[in-house]
Amino acid sequence: MNQYDIIIIGAGPGGLTAGIYAGRQGTRNLILDKDMAGGLGREVPAMENYPGYDMISGLELVEKMKEQAIKNCELKEMECVEEITKEDGEYRFTVKTSKETYQSKTIILATGSSHRQLGAKGEEEFRGKGVSYCATCDGFFFAGRDIVMVGGGNSALQEALYLKNLGANVTLIHRRAEFKAQKHLQDKIKENEIKTIMNATVEEIKGNMLVESVVLKDTKTGKLSELPTNGVFVSVGYMPHTDLAYQLNVKLDESGHIITDKAQKTNVDYVYAVGDVCVGLKQWVVACGEGAVAATSAFEDIQ
């Protein structure tokens, strides 16, 4: 059975950084990911706040990080971790995947998150038929067409700008009176003359074979209205992936995110967590910092 000092579960920004730092410290470490490296970071159309780059896409940055990581650690993509058990001994964790079984002295959970759904009627029915959670994946198909982007955070506004640049006629819909996104993104929305509908929620997505309209509810008056559209892009937050944390009895906060201390340690000895699965700011640069801290903590704890 293959044995490691550190097994990192998840190859997003935090996991890849942890692998880089762990390898440079001389540990034998492995990164496992159920999908391709990068996670949701691959979908980011453009970042203007990552140090060292005026602008870079998530996919481009992921590839750069992946190239650096594999110089310092093993990386196995498309290998889903199904079970983790903890026992006494030096190699206290047994990690069973869809392909193999491994042992490790420590575990870093970098399992990330997935897109939160609206919960609107018709959302699941029209998924892939006009409903999308990834502008960079599906935006090309909506050039020259009417679409709505639902959300008010940084991701929603970034993707609205990206879709506008592709030639889509974008309308931003947000359930509050003000956006949560950074001011410079709000300014760009105005500069690009992207239409906004505030204080509104999407109650229903309607159509025949494809999306044809959305039913909106005014959050102040309760009044319903129908807006014709060819597509619905959703960016209303994320759901942390904590199945493995539950298996290890790792403590979560009331929102379902992993609680860590400043050393990225969880309540379970030799288990650390980084990135979007944790309590804290959901930013690429934060995940990278947490990855570096977690790898260093794990290294120090096994010395």
3-state helix/strand/coil string of 44-76? CCCECCCCCCCCECHHHHHHHHHHHHCCCCEEE
Q: Name the domain count of the chain.
A: 2
How far are the Cα atoms of 12, 20, 47, 146 from residue 285, in angstroms, in the given order? 11, 15, 11, 34
Query: What pLDDT band is residue 43 in, cutting at 50, 70 and 90?
Result: confident
Tokens, residue 207? 């159509």
Q: What is residue 222's predicted lDDT score, i.e. its pLDDT?
A: 96
Is residue 30 located within the same domain as residue 44? yes
Q: Which of 245, 300, 261, 295 is nearest to 113 (CA)?
A: 245
Is residue 102 located within the same domain as residue 246? yes
pLDDT tops 90 at residue 290: yes
Q: What is residue 45's predicted lDDT score, i.e. its pLDDT?
A: 80
Span 283-301, average pLDDT? 96
Q: Which residues participate in catalysis according to the annotation?
A: 134, 137-138
Q: What is residue 219's predicted lDDT score, i.e. its pLDDT?
A: 96
> Residue 199 is part of which domain span?
117-234
Span 94-122, average pLDDT? 95
Is residue 107 located within the same domain as residue 242? yes
How far are the Cα atoms of 2, 22, 197, 230, 232 from residue 227, in angstroms, in the given order? 57, 52, 11, 10, 11
C-beta neighbour count of 193 within 10 angstroms? 8
- Mean pLDDT value across the chain: 95
Is residue 145 located within the same domain as residue 277? no
pLDDT tops 90 at residue 186: yes
Is residue 124 located within the same domain as residue 207? yes
Q: What is residue 126's predicted lDDT score, i.e. its pLDDT?
A: 96
pLDDT tops 90 at residue 216: yes
Render pLDDT for 3-33 as a digit per residue (tens, 0 to 9): 999 999 999 999 999 999 999 999 999 999 9
Q: Which of 71-85, 123-137, 287-301 has the lowest mean pLDDT?
A: 123-137
Is residue 70 located within the same domain as residue 179? no
Q: What is the CATH number of the domain that holds 154?
A: 3.50.50.60
- Residue written as tokens 């198909």? 141
Query: Which three-class secondary structure state does DSSP give residue 128?
Result: coil
Is residue 228 located within the same domain as residue 244? no
Q: What is residue 255's predicted lDDT score, i.e. its pLDDT?
A: 87
Q: What is residue 93's predicted lDDT score, i.e. its pLDDT?
A: 97
Is residue 98 located within the same domain as residue 179? no
How far are the Cα atoms of 26, 67, 125 from residue 107, in angstroms, in the given order? 16, 22, 38
Render pLDDT for 217-276 as a digit per residue (tens, 0 to 9): 999 999 999 999 999 999 998 899 999 999 999 999 998 999 999 999 999 999 999 999
Is residue 123 located within the same domain as residue 228? yes
- Determine the residue type at 230: N
Q: Which of 181, 199, 234 delimits the end of a domain? A: 234
Q: What is residue 241's predicted lDDT score, i.e. its pLDDT?
A: 95
Q: What is residue 193's predicted lDDT score, i.e. its pLDDT?
A: 96
Q: Which of 234, 258, 292 delimits the end of a domain? A: 234
